Amino acid sequence: IEAAFKAGKIASLIVVEGGHSIDDRLSVLRLYYELGVRYMTLTHSCNQPWVDASPIDDTTNEKRNLTDFGVKVVWEMNRLGMMVDISHVSAGVMHHALDVSRAPVIFSHSSSYAMYPHHRNAKDDVLARLPQNGGIIMVNFYSFFVAGQDATIDDVIRHINHIRDVAGVDHVGLGGDYDGVSRQPIGLEDVSKYPDLFDKLAQPGHGYEPWTPEELKKLAGLNILRVMRQVEQVAAGLVSEEPYELNIPDEDIHAFDPNQSCKTDFRYNPSNEMFTEI
């Protein structure tokens, strides 16, 4: 990333958004790492046998955590040096991942629940734990996570500043999500608006302390680079640890409602070289 930046280029990480992509197998997780994947979101917008997604917080009061297998997924990611992404997970899983991860975690694209109460956002009790963990929350710009249909750049700034107040300036970044959303805030319609965001953050007189140039550098990328280094340092300290080889317990799979899963089965048709859903 730093080499690309110095060369005036853009660096892009290979990531997996949704732990369903490992098919409940740690061997697949390891293969992804060998192929270059450097973070994985534990789940997407649907539940799995070992981890629940955030929509469950709107449908039940039950606190759901990682299963034992889910904990081993986190530990194996720590051992490999793969960042644990807890965007999209339920509130219970957020806390549990912070409990068990031996390395800093990330929210790759989430915002503040206190500023806008959507299940995809992180509550203050989670944000307050980031300094001890060393992790980071990267603010999502999707209008419906920020303030609703008519969200503006100022609403995004409210989220950023609130997270700075609760978690600290070393634990906030930007996760605009421009490749994955259909509506952006007014004034942040595309990446060309980033300078406007930084200019506004640096200006006094908006009800919050203006950001210094050094703080803006952290927000822009130094914070996530620091997290990446720490994750790699943890992995280096675990180099003598054996890979986890366990399989997901049958009871976890049998107790799981397959209608809640992200998984879809496809069959290959050689006649038209297409995959069709079963």
Domains in the chain: ranges and CATH: 11-102 (no CATH), 108-239 (3.20.20.140)
Two tokens at 170? 């070393």
Q: Please list the residues that pair with 269 across neighbouring strands.
A: 274
Mark the ranges of the chain whose per-residue pLDDT is less than 70.
61-64, 257-278
Q: What is the pLDDT of residue 276?
A: 59
Q: Which residue has the tokens 């397959």?
A: 258
Q: In what order do the strands lie in the sheet with 83-85?
A: 14-17, 37-41, 83-85, 105-107, 136-139, 172-174
Q: What is the pLDDT of residue 51?
A: 93
Q: What is the pLDDT of residue 205?
A: 75
Write b or e for each residue in 143-176: b if 16 or more Cβ atoms lie within 10 A of its Cβ, otherwise e.
bebbbeeebebebbbbbbbbbbbbbebbbbbbbb
* Strands 136-139 vs 105-107: parallel, antiparallel or unpaired: parallel
Contact 190, 223 (CB under 8 A): no
How many Cα atoms within 13 Å fall on the side-chain side of residue 275? 4
Q: What is the pLDDT of residue 264?
A: 56
Residues 6+ apart with CB under 8 A from 83: 38, 39, 40, 77, 103, 104, 105, 106, 227, 228, 231
